[in-house]
Structure 1
Amino acid sequence: MNAPVKFETTLKDWETDQEVRWCPGCGDYAILKAVQRTLPQLGADPKNTVFISGIGCSSRFPYYMESYGFHTIHGRAPAVATGVKLANPDLDIWLVTGDGDGLSIGGNHLMHVLRRNVNMQIMLFNNEIYGLTKGQASPTSREGTKSPSTPLGSYDHPARPAAFALGAGARFVGRGFDVSKKLPEVLTAAHAHQGAAFIEIFQNCIVYNKDVFEDFAAPKGAEDRQLWLEDGEPMLFAKDSKGIAVDRDRLELKVVDVVDGDWQAAGVIVHDATNRSIAHMLVEMPFGPYPMALGVLYDDPRPTFEAAVIDERARSSEGKEPNLARLLAKGQTWTVDGTAQDPI
């Protein structure tokens, strides 16, 4: 694979002439702008960038990016994205999916693109509802969610996208939310990661699940409810008056008070993005007693799937001359006499 070339673009270079058709106030608008702001900072080339989506509100994304793109079928975007990456490993692949598309019919495909570690950015928009099909409960809907498919309240235990990604073997897991000013930082870190980079983006569905994330995403008091992680920095929140420590007796995380700024005395741990065990604990922290863990939770690269495929192709063809006619004639062959009559 060739080294990427930095291109100079602006946000306008990534906007299309298509009318953006999401509900007024939908969080997808903010995510779209975050991506369009991030790509110029990355020096991305629109002619080398591909957005691939499945089905759902989020999956209209390729129409609104001035680049190449595929709007594929329900749940199968990871399979298509894998094929595109293997056909041309130099392409910059962005996979766009939702909690319904990616974790219901597409869960199997999403699992395999993560465990294989195909080099692409995977953005899963999580609004905890089926928005496109009029508000049914989705795999991530909370217990008690009332919807057309669960009129008395959902009794399903919700899936946790970040926990799913870690369990499937993802080497990069990040979290953000639609209107956060820090979302571009998470996208940038995901793009720098060589391998399958999974970003869960909490997204407000203004019509069917309005303000479901306000408990941690609302601007007022956000510093008390959000833990933005930064590699090599202590896990502090609430204006550095609280932090996250390890309860060594129970082998789980706990919230501690920080007195006079002495976070070390309080036992606050420093974020190590390569620590998979701590990453698992962070995604499982119940919101309420704990803050919402955001940013880069886990980042520990390993060789990518397409690199292994390219190496295999090179080894299998080493010392061999490409000759299709010889290949077809190899082994047992026979000639069909065109004058012979078929038996009746």
Structure 2
Amino acid sequence: MNDMTPVTSKPKDWESDQEVRWCPGCGDYAILKAIQRTMPDLGVRPESTVFISGIGCSSRFPYYMETYGFHTIHGRAPAVATGVKLANPDLDVWIITGDGDGLSIGGNHTLHLLRRNLDCQILLFNNEIYGLTKGQYSPTSRTGTRSPSTPFGSVDGPVNPCAFALGAGARFVARGIDVHKNLPGVFKAAHAHRGASFVEIYQNCIVYNDEVFAPFTEKKEAAARQVWLEHGQPMLFDGGLKGLALDAKALALKVVDVAGGDWKAAGVLVHDETNRSIANMLVTMPSGAHPVALGVIYQSPAPTFESAVIEQNARASEGKKPDLQALISKGQTWMVEKEPHAI
């Protein structure tokens, strides 16, 4: 068993000696720093922490953390993470993936990790493009995206990562923005959750998809286009002048004006992060008049996959004595006798 007693560390203790190599201005730098600032607040140990990635720009991440790590193959980080967690459930496992790695070739693996509820944190960097392979459109690229692989504009609709996670049975779903001050708080909430924590991070690709999120991330637009959710608090934004209410007829969320700060009279909803139906509405709000939902959108803990496996194995082995020879000899076995060499 690993010693899980909280320890004191500094952000510098989590920085490896490797040169950080992303394009200048890439949002990955901000996410890396946010994680390195967050880890000391969690009281965890570097030697008990593992970062696992697949393939993509985001997947360089394990090299830059002074922890254990695996840079695996395209889309298969969830499979490796499952093996790591089952082999040593005490390890603190983080999965670093991107919209291409985690939702294209790795979509199947991500789905099953979420439905199984492995205790880990999944950080999905979403820049709506394939950056490492030079700008092809990705599963989250918007319809009409022009790229080397879609020179006339993509014709298929994009995957909504948080809607995908909820549909796969995720018990924790959150969103953040690469450069936002609230991102460390989202990481802390994800780590505190026991089970699979899915965090989508809007990450700017300065080379191939620059400013794609500007309509809601630009400083002058942020207040009116972002609603940061907090459990038990009203869903207010734009300095408290607007809020989200339920349109009972359409079974959807609508934007309402809040007069004189009386959000109750305006019908503004109080955020209940255990309400999956409202969570689905929050992650599928149409762009335009509606804000982007950020923070912890849904959280409802359930037994973890590895705890169920460990319990099952304990029941299966109860009262039994380990005997490798008996296991090898079980069933149809035979002895091959040595025969004399033919002359």
Residue 230 of structure 1 is matched in structure 2 by: 230
Deviation at 1:154, TM superposition (A): 1.1
Does residue 130 of the first structure (1) align with residue 123 of the second (2)?
no
Q: Quick one: percent identity of the two aligned structures?
A: 70
Task: Report whether the alignment pairs 1:290 with 2:290.
Answer: yes
Matches within 5 A, 1:133-282: 133-282=133-282
Look up the SS of the partner of 1:198 in the other structure.
Answer: strand
Q: So what's the TM-score if we normalise by structure 1?
A: 0.98
Closer, same or farther in 2 for the Cα pair 1:284/1:3, shift >3 Å?
farther
Aligned AA (1:265): A
Structure 1's unaligned 5+ residue stretches are: none
Q: Which moved more, 1:214-223 or 1:75-84?
A: 214-223
Residue in 2 that maps onto 1:325: 325
For residues 227-276 of structure 1, what are the alpha-carbon distances to aligned partners after superposition, in whole Å with 9 as ceiling and x for unaligned?
A: 00000000000110100000111111100010111100100010000000
d(CA) in 1 for partners of 2:229, 2:78: 28
**1:277 alignment partner, SS class:** helix
C-alpha contact 2:118 2:196 (8 A) present in aligned 1:
yes
Over the aligned positions, Cα root-mean-square deviation in angstroms equals: 1.3
Q: Does 1:308 align with 2:311?
A: no
How far does residue 329 in structure 1 lie from its aligned partner after superposition? 2.6
User: Could you tell me how far apart the structure 2 residues matched to 1:130 and 1:252 are?
Assistant: 32
Per the TM alignment, residue 289 of structure 1 is displaced from its structure 2 partner at its CA by 1.4
SS at match of 2:220: coil
Partners of 2:281 and 2:340 lie apart in 1 by 74
Q: CA deviation at 1:288?
A: 1.2
Count the aligned residue pairs: 343
The 2-side partners of 1:328 and 1:83 are apart by: 24
Q: Deviation above 6 Å: which 4+ runs of structure 1? A: none
SS at match of 1:228: strand
Q: Which residue of 1 aligns with 2:14?
A: 14
Q: Match of 2:105, SS?
A: coil
Q: CA deviation at 1:294?
A: 0.2
SS at match of 2:239: coil
Q: 1:171-227 CA distances to partner (integer Å, 9 max, x unpaired)?
A: 000000100000001000000000000000000000000011111111223111100
CA distance in 1: counterparts of 2:302 and 2:186, whole angstroms:
19
Q: Does the Cα contact within 8 Å between 2:215 and 2:221 map onto a contact in 1?
A: no
Deviations along 1:134-168, one digit per CA (max 9) or x if unpaired, are 00000000111111111111111000000000000
Give the whole-Å Cα distance in 2 for the aligned partners of 1:327 and 1:19: 50
SS, match of residue 297 in structure 2: strand
- CA drift of 1:2 comes to 7.1
Q: Identify which range, 144-153 or 264-273, moves more after superposition.
A: 144-153
Partner of 2:100: 100
